[in-house]
Amino acid sequence: MNLKILLLPGDGIGTEVTAAAVEVLKAVGKKFGHTLDLSEGLLGGVAIHKTGTPFPKETEELCQKADATLMGAVGLPEFDAAPPSQRPEAGLLGMRRVLDVFANLRPVRTWPALVDSSPLKNHVVEGTDMIIVRELTGGLYYGQPRGIDNDRAFNTMSYTRKEVERVTHTAFKLAGNRRKKVTSVDKSNVLEVSQFWRKVVIEVAKQYPNIQLEHMLVDNAAMQMVLNPRQFDVMLTENTFGDILSDVGGILAGSIGMLPSASLGEKKGLYEPVHGSAPDIAGQNKANPLGAIGSVAAMLEYTFGLMKEANAVNNAIGKVLESGRVTADLRPKGKPATTQEVGKAVSEAL
């Protein structure tokens, strides 16, 4: 198979973890006989520096031509005081909208080798295996009107029936291939939009009689994730809540550097590690590339339907974790490995 993939390394450690992920991707191609058609574009702060905009037209065109996009990270401290539309993150939001990738899948798994890496007690995190399904193109991050002046600022949280229905279908179909449970997270005791969300989820759930549905308020969900994460199978959330809760998942996995993600639409897929650009360690070859490499596995599975290849990548990640050849964030017993060394180790384990 010919895999047509756009690479958007972005800012900070994005370039380093993407390079490691591409090395693994090339190893997959060699092992399983696939050809890679790789292109590269600009996104985020690096795009602002070179083109004046976080999501250049050329990058938009490259996204549309590729079967899948693999992204590193966006964000630089120098833009922290800039208006939202002029920050690197605006490029990511713009790309999600253009590709219409409405469902963000964030697997949260506690690997046996990393039980000691979590700050939570071992018996709490052991056996955690959940997926957060976050609605990605609606809600507070995209709602209009929005604005800011000297004395007031405002954003709009808004959802249409179609937006809620399509991401709910994604969550229930995923649950059908897992442990057949969906936990829908909202704030329906306070927000009208959450009351609507819950109503639509209940209606869609009737089409999946073999899937258990439960509802949980977002504040309780955050608490339950650190009290008893094994209770969750598929967690369904709107955009803002999913953004926050998936970072809690980093505690369960041992490091946020472990978390991959897949953003899926009707036709396109966008894949990226959950972590940010981490400018404090950028350029030092210290970043954990396993979230980016896990995102490659997700891309092989969801966009290209290559389950054997995806499983091979995940198994290779497991072997590297067992070997202890990992970066400093995972608290290795010996000398920490570099970003490059971990990427090479996964490629060799394939």
Which residue's structure tokens are 């005791």?
A: 189
| Residue type (1 letter), 275 | H
334 phi and psi, to 5 degrees? -105, -155
Contact (CB, 8 A) for 91 and 50: no
Return the structure tokens found at 161: 């029936």
* Whether residue 219 lies in the annotated active site: yes
Cα–Cα distance for residue pair 69/296, rounded to 1 Å: 10
Partners of residue 4 on adjacent β-strands: 37
- Report CA dihedral (163, 161, 249, 101) to the nearest 10 degrees: -10
* Whether residue 243 lies in the annotated active site: yes
* Whether residue 247 lies in the annotated active site: yes
* Catalytic residue, candidates 65, 162, 173, 219: 219
* Catalytic residue, candidates 187, 268, 286, 344: 187
Residue 262: strand, helix, or coil: strand
Return the structure tokens found at 306: 């290559």
Q: How many beta carbons lie within 10 A of that of residue 145, not counting itself?
A: 7
Partners of residue 154 on adjacent β-strands: 147
* Catalytic residue, candidates 11, 141, 208, 271: 141
Return the structure tokens found at 245: 């809760």
* Catalytic residue, candidates 11, 186, 233, 243: 243
| Catalytic residue ranges | 141, 187, 219, 243, 247
